[in-house]
Amino acid sequence: MYNYINPLKEWDYLVYRCFRLIVMFLCTILFRLEVTGRENIPKEGGLIIISNHASLLDPLLVGAAITRPVACMAKEELFRIPILRW
């Protein structure tokens, strides 16, 4: 799978995958989310994804649409919200 994941973080990866499936399911049903061009995302190596922030749901939608683990950069204040800190 992804070799760069620290063994101590495997539980976090499992939670991430479960959360991603739930968000993808809800987005597909509620917003009719359709992902195109997923085949253009490399399976490994560095990657920068830029969102235009059309809504506050962009980080969730991007994280759900991409099959790789995603880490987001954001303002420090955003991470003071408990659910987003994780």
Rounded CA gap, 78 and 66, in Å? 22
Amino acid 85: pLDDT: 64
Torsion of CA 44, 70, 25, 55, to 10 degrees: -130
pLDDT for 4 beyond 60: no
- Does the residue 70 lie in any domain? yes
Residues spanned by the domain of 57: 7-85
- Does the residue 33 lie in any domain? yes
Domain count, the chain: 1
Length of the chain: 86
Instruction: Dump pLDDT digits (tens) for 15-47.
Output: 888 888 888 888 888 888 788 888 888 888 888
Rounded CA gap, 77 and 3, in Å? 31
- Does the residue 53 lie in any domain? yes
- Does the residue 50 lie in any domain? yes
Rounded CA gap, 65 and 61, in Å? 6
Amino acid 7: pLDDT: 47
Confidence of residue 51 (pLDDT cuts 50, 70, 90): confident
- Does the residue 43 lie in any domain? yes
Amino acid 8: pLDDT: 45
- Does the residue 1 lie in any domain? no
Q: Is 69 helix (H, G, I), strand (E, B) or coil?
A: coil
> Whose structure tokens read 């973080």?
9
- Does the residue 38 lie in any domain? yes
